[in-house]
Chain A
Amino acid sequence: MVENGNRQAMWTPSLVIPNGVSRRDFLRRSAAVGASLSSLGVLTTACGDDDQNGAARPAATSPAAGAGDGGSADEIAVEAARQFKGTTLTVTWEAGLQALDPKEVFGPEWTELTGINIEVVELDFPDLYSNAIREHVAGSGAYDLLRAAAAWIPDLALSGVITPLDDFIGQYYPPEDFDDYHQLYESLGIFQGQRYGLFDDGDCLIFYYRKDVFDDLNIDVPQTIQEWEDAAEAITAAMAPDIYGFGVFHVPYPFYHFYWRFRVNGGEFFNPETMEATINSQAGVAAMEQIAALQQTAPPGAEGWGFGEALNAFVEGRIAMTYSWAPVGRWAAGVGEGETELEFVPESQVKGQVGYSVFPGGHGPLAVGFTNCVAANSKNAEAAYLMMQYITSPRVSLERSMTPIALTDPYRLSHFDSSEYRNLWPEAPEYLEALQQAAGAALIDLNLPASPEYETALGNAVSAVLSGADIQGELDTAAAAWDVITRDRGLDQQRDAYQAFLQQAGSTVDNTIAG
């Protein structure tokens, strides 16, 4: 019965998006469907159906959820934004599939509702940071909304590139909708007591594995990093070259692999008093050894994989384990197959065989975590803010996080609990639970002024180790580079920022949301 029901509600674009219906219409309709399903979910839960545990929460995903007390976040944003009709907002967004979100998913509806146009500037991930600074220095006012990794907020705030949002939030954001943010994400975007960004992309990585391969080889789902390495070795030994034990993205973010492992191994990035870099400690060496050990079980050439190569390898069934962002789980389940925009994703060979879990060892990374900010030089700051509120609102963000062509990962409590989302494919509840657990145990990126410089120095060390370089030597070089960065940026400033970082949820294994 459950399976039947799931099958009916499963995401099949040809059913949900009939020919001739625009994506805009689809979004509007899906909001209505969402409201209905959420209401049904509440009723089901009230009747004692434990399977639909997400429906126990108030149906914040429906447009009508906050209407009783002045409207929901999206409604308020749209109403207020109409005064800026005719304005064009220039927004930076990561190039490629990410950019379909403003271009095709929420953008057209926003323009139709408010009369505000959106011009999307697609940039590679590192350029989201450097171009924002470059335009700020030039004083061009070229951008209104800046898409930034959460770790960049201190740098962008200190540099005056982005502007505080507290006044806008106080004026426009309904507190009940704001409180719907998962606790992990709530503090991201705040620097020195002011909020500079609205968090907009869950980005907690989870562990994916092939249930059928595990069953065939009688392997249990690994609970520790050692068990993980053992499982990967066993699979590669038994099934390569058809199936390798493990494979993961490295380019352009190899440092993420180190960030979380290092802390799981008990490492601290700096001595909190002297700010001497301690990434070359024993914990750092252990983290690098773990990275290198797992890489040994990956297909040849996998040390150069980006997100796309790792995705393809997993979806095509060439690797049995990986970890990645949430869309991999959706696409591996076949969600979105047939969408023109997803033609680059091979047809999934592992549908129904994918297991989702938090990382072996208990803690995984929140890697990137896109946060939307208003550019300090923007001439349309209020309109830009209102659009940010609209797209992060419970209703619109849920739609964006479910749409297979956008890469928004769940980040609101109502996302994890959405019955609509849980019915997208049979294993969706397991997937959402893994994501929510991952958020509870996640380790956030180091966010200090000069984060991109620290990341680059560390990333160079990780990619060198992946190519066979000496671990201790690379870590010593990276630590020396970190010390130079810290000294150049000012020891006191960096110490204060690091101590503030240590107070944030997810900064260490002893300070996660789950505790």
Chain B
Amino acid sequence: MQARTTQAHPTPLRPGRAASWADRHVRLLLVLPAVILTAAMTLFPLGYSLWASFVRFDFRMPGHPWVGFANFAAIIRDPVALQSLWHTAVVVVVLVACQFVAGLVLALTLARSFRGRNLVIPILVLPLFMSPVVVGQLWRLLLEPQTGPTNYLLGLMLPGEVTISWFTQWPFNWIAIIIADSWQWTPFMLIILLAGLTTIPHELYEAAELDGASAWQKFRHVTTPLLAPIATLAIVFRTIDAIKLFDVVYVLTGGGPGTSTYTAPYYLYERGLQFFDIGPAAAGSWMLLILTLIVAFRLVVRLLPEKRR
């Protein structure tokens, strides 16, 4: 009877402090597991790598004594590291420039509607979905000096026998790398720039035409400023990705001959994962990351019109 009375007239419960806090921060609590997981997955490897760059990380020796900036100094003193970084800088500029120009030309062409456009775009975009290793193998077959078709076809067009060693002869080894990488990544520029072009209102071109603007003037004063934000995005993304150039180099030239096609990632791979020189490799990776961030930041500042930043 008493119980029934209690049930019928329950005493209002005063929420505890914790429950009250939970009520107020329920949204935070719901996202907290995901935040913790993401932080663990992102920050832990970064933190571990940062720690490795300040210790002697040699599995042949017990312990990991603190070495300060010695690993960073080892990278800076290594001429092969500096040469690899220089190679990376040059090849990134060449790759991004080539791919941007080619992507823009293709995008301007494909922005107009024509018969077969819906067939051409998927074909052009296809390499984008291939693994870079497969792209490297494909171009290795095509450029193989003795058995590949490239030298043969060039021989049909040029006088005399063409005996270019695409993988061992400078500058053809770099040309091979640039061709293979551009074949894969120009479509990336194409897609982004094509998307940008389709967002430019047609009325602006009509207005420019009414004002008597030439095709070049329309491109210069309508297309360029309106395409700039998305073009910046494409260039920044491609630059960041091109700095990581590794797979195609690994497959096509193996960094050779000598160290003539070493890129920074290839150098770090060799040092860290072939020779297990983990400390300097981790230090080099951090230096490359910081340089990449600086480059990306500078690109955004330089390329994006001030009012859009």
List residues of chain A with CB within 8 A of the CB of B164. 301
Complexed CA–CA distance, A252 and B256 (Å): 10
List residues of chain B with CB within 8 A of the CB of A474. 258
* Majority secondary structure, A binding face: helix
Please provide the chain A residues from 439 to 487 with a CB less than 8 Å away from any CB of chain B in the complex: 450, 452-453, 456, 460-461, 463-464, 466-467, 469, 474, 477, 480-481, 484
B159 CB to nearest chain A CB (Å): 16
Closest to A478 in B: B258
Q: Is A31 an interface residue (CB 8 A)?
A: no
Complexed CA–CA distance, A251 and B257 (Å): 10
Residues of A bordering B, CB below 8 Å: 126, 130, 133-134, 136-137, 158-160, 241, 251-252, 300-301, 303-304, 309, 450, 452-453, 456, 460-461, 463-464, 466-467, 469, 474, 477, 480-481, 484, 488
* Majority secondary structure, B binding face: loop
> Which of B60, B161, B258, B274 touches A130 (beta carbons < 8 Å)?
B274
Closest to B253 in A: A304
Binds A, one of B166-174, B212-220, B240-248: B166-174
Q: Is B36 an interface residue (CB 8 A)?
A: no
Known contacts A130-B274, A467-B168; decide if A303 and B257 are in contact (CB<8 Å).
Answer: yes
Known contacts A158-B60, A477-B79; decide if A464 and B258 are in contact (CB<8 Å).
Answer: yes
Check B59–A467 contact: CB distance below 8 A.
no
B259-295 toward A: CB 8 Å interface, digit per residue (1/0)? 1100000000010011111000000000000000000
Known contacts A130-B273, A456-B274, A463-B257; decide if A300 and B168 are in contact (CB<8 Å).
Answer: no
B37 CB to nearest chain A CB (Å): 23
List residues of chain A with CB within 8 A of the CB of B78. 484
Known contacts A158-B60, A477-B79; decide if A301 and B258 are in contact (CB<8 Å).
Answer: no
Complexed CA–CA distance, A474 and B60 (Å): 30
Residues of B bordering A, CB below 8 Å: 59-60, 78-80, 145-146, 161, 163-165, 167-170, 254, 256-260, 270, 273-277
**Pairs across A and B, CB under 8 Å, 18 listed:** A126-B274, A133-B59, A136-B59, A158-B60, A300-B161, A300-B163, A301-B163, A303-B165, A303-B169, A304-B167, A450-B275, A452-B274, A452-B275, A463-B168, A464-B259, A464-B260, A474-B258, A481-B80
Check A466–B260 contact: CB distance below 8 A.
no
Check B260–A467 contact: CB distance below 8 A.
yes
List residues of chain B with CB within 8 A of the CB of A480. 79
List residues of chain A with CB within 8 A of the CB of B79. 477, 480
List residues of chain B with CB within 8 A of the CB of A450. 275
B154 CB to nearest chain A CB (Å): 13
B82 CB to nearest chain A CB (Å): 12
List residues of chain B with CB within 8 A of the CB of A252. 254
List residues of chain A with CB within 8 A of the CB of B145. 300-301, 304
List residues of chain A with CB within 8 A of the CB of B168. 301, 303-304, 463, 466-467
Closest to B145 in A: A301
List residues of chain B with CB within 8 A of the CB of A130. 273-274, 276
